[in-house]
Amino acid sequence: MPVQTERGRKSILVVEDDPVTRTALVHVLELLGYEVVPVATVAESIERLDGQHCAVLDLNLPDGLGTTILRRIRTENRPIRVAVVSATTDRAMLDEARDLRAELILRKPINVNELIEWVSRGG
């Protein structure tokens, strides 16, 4: 279970443009006790990036790439654990996510159990 913080529950930024996938991720994570901040674009992600413990990033978004968000997290030295979920086969994009220290890279369809295990290990 998530560790309690001063603000309450641990918070997770979920960046996913597909509404069905986003809703499913939000539902599962909320059932596990997490506060979830769901967004669908790079712009929304940057606007809502505020103290989350984890981020789950899709790579191909309507207004850009999830690596833009990951780069911002790293450049600003934010203590956010990052998982990438994507259907892309673009080796360069996946390598960039690895270079930016994504802790987990999952292919779609998402192995929800693997994602839950990763989120839970976050202490």
CA gap 2, 6 in Å, rounded: 13
Q: Which fold has domain 11-120?
A: Rossmann fold (3.40.50)
pLDDT tens digits, one per residue of 30-83: 999 999 999 999 999 999 999 999 999 999 999 999 999 999 999 999 999 999
The tens digit of pLDDT for each residue in 84-98 reads 999 999 999 999 999
pLDDT at 9: 82
For residues 115 and 118, what is the distance between their CA atoms, to the nearest angstrom? 5
CA atoms within 13 A on the CB side of 71: 10
> 56, 81 in Cβ contact below 8 A?
no
> Between 8 and 122, whose confidence is greater?
122
Residues, the chain: 123
Residue 122 clears pLDDT 80, i.e. is over it: no
Q: Over the chain, what is the mean pLDDT? A: 92
Where along the chain do its domains lie?
11-120
Global pTM reads 0.91
Contact 11, 52 (CB under 8 A): yes
